[in-house]
Amino acid sequence: MHITLRHLRIFEAVARHGSISRAAADLHLTQPAVSMQMKQLEEQIGLPLVEQIGRRMCLTEAGQLLRLHACDMADRMANLNASMAQFRDLERGLLRLAVVSTANYFLPALIADFNTCHPGVRISLQVGNRAFVLSALADNSTDLAIIGQPPDGADLVAQDFKDNPLVVIASPRHALAGQPGPVSMARLADEVLVVREPGSGTRAAAERQFAAHGLTVSAGCEFSTNEAIKQAVRAGLGLAVVSAQTIELELQTGCLAVLPVEGFPIVRQWYAVQRKQHRLSAAAATFRDMLLAPDPAGTPRPARKRAAKARASA
């Protein structure tokens, strides 16, 4: 038995009006179209559903039972439409984000703004290094990723939305702290650097900067978090390259110092990244659009779409 929603919708109208002509007018269909649908429905069920009594069309016993089911299904469809509308209107839904740990310094404020506008949307936030975030995109455990460098050779689309300057930090007690004039890259190569773990975008950017000057990084301790990096630098274990967005509080309190190194800051970008063929949920699309929207001063943020197949440093 093959009964469609169209069959049931037309049957319910005929049952309600007791007339094919009035049902056709209500549904904005022709009378022959309604009659044909009714005939097909009776053929599918194998029973008469209506009978003509005088000038009025009445339901048979089977028709009366079918009408109960048709009304029930109409209610279910109405509830389904209302539920889907809640997702479209962001009254419900799930926003899945995966972000590199450095982005976690500025992203909570943006998430709070989104939550204020859409309190019914649940938010799932995964935090890790660049390799972890790209893996989350690949295995479909996130809708949108925030990273500092778009990947190379993956079927992804990246849109940049915010500057991410990298600076060299030192303990205020370090010999280079407060030194007048720029510090050369060659001088910096003599220092021990506290570094992030392999897979970190910040570490990769620092290594590329040194390599561009024909230098190698003298890596000391290796840590997996920005907080550990900052504490190690404060303790005098070495210098470090970090995002300027991670040290605002330490600069205000004088716990860390930024060194005026030649070639720094390295101005990178933050990118919102999604799979090219993946259709974002309403929540994820709205959050992405919020990231790319003009800032409060009215200046448009960069929104240059890049397919990640395009050339990008890994």
**CA dist., res. 152 & res. 311, Å (int):** 6
146 and 289 within one domain: yes
* Domain-embedded: residue 313: no
Which residue is associated with the tokens 């429905």? 41
What value does the mean pLDDT take over residues 42-53? 89
**Cβ neighbours around 227 below 10 Å, total:** 11
Here the CATH number for the domain that contains residue 254 is 3.40.190.10
* Angstrom distances, CA of residue 73 to CA of 4, 26, 67, 77: 11, 19, 10, 6
Which residue is associated with the tokens 């590199």? 100
% residues pLDDT > 90 (the chain): 37
Please report which confidence band the pLDDT of residue 312 belongs to, taking 50, 70 and 90 as the band edges: very low
| Each residue's pLDDT tens digit, 144-189 | 999 988 877 668 889 999 999 999 999 999 989 877 778 888 888 8
280 and 252 within one domain: no
Give yes or no for a cis peptide into 198 (omega within 30° of 0).
Answer: no
**CA dist., res. 166 & res. 88, Å (int):** 38
Choosing from 69, 88, 107, the residue where a domain stops is: 88
Choosing from 63, 88, 113, the residue where a domain stops is: 88
The secondary structure of 123-192 as a DSSP string is EEEEEE-HHHHHHHHHTTS-SEEEESS--SSSSEEEEEEEEEEEEEEE-TTSTTTT-SSPBPHHHHHTS-
Round the average pLDDT of the chain to a whole number and report it.
85
197 and 256 within one domain: yes
* Domain-embedded: residue 221: yes
Torsion sign, CA atoms 248, 252, 258, 260: positive
In the chain, the largest separation of any two C-alpha atoms, in whole Å, equals 106
- Read off the DSSP letter of residue 24: H
Per mean pLDDT, which range of 183-187, 196-200, 206-210 is the poorest?
Answer: 196-200
Please report which confidence band the pLDDT of residue 296 belongs to, taking 50, 70 and 90 as the band edges: low
280 and 258 within one domain: no
Cα-Cα-Cα-Cα dihedral of 37, 39, 42, 43, to 10°?
-110
pLDDT (0 to 100) of residue 186: 87
Residue scoring higher pLDDT (228 or 81): 228
Structure tokens at 179: 């030194």
The one-letter amino acid code at 102 reads: T
238 and 221 within one domain: yes
Domain encompassing residue 127: 94-161+270-307
157 and 299 within one domain: yes
What's the pTM value of the predicted model, to 2 decimals? 0.67
231 and 177 within one domain: yes
pLDDT (0 to 100) of residue 86: 65
* Domain-embedded: residue 312: no
211 and 185 within one domain: yes
110 and 31 within one domain: no
Checking if the pLDDT of 300 tops 50, the result is: no
What value does the mean pLDDT take over residues 117-126? 90
pLDDT (0 to 100) of residue 83: 67
What value does the mean pLDDT take over residues 18-42? 91
Number of domains in the chain: 3
pLDDT (0 to 100) of residue 251: 92
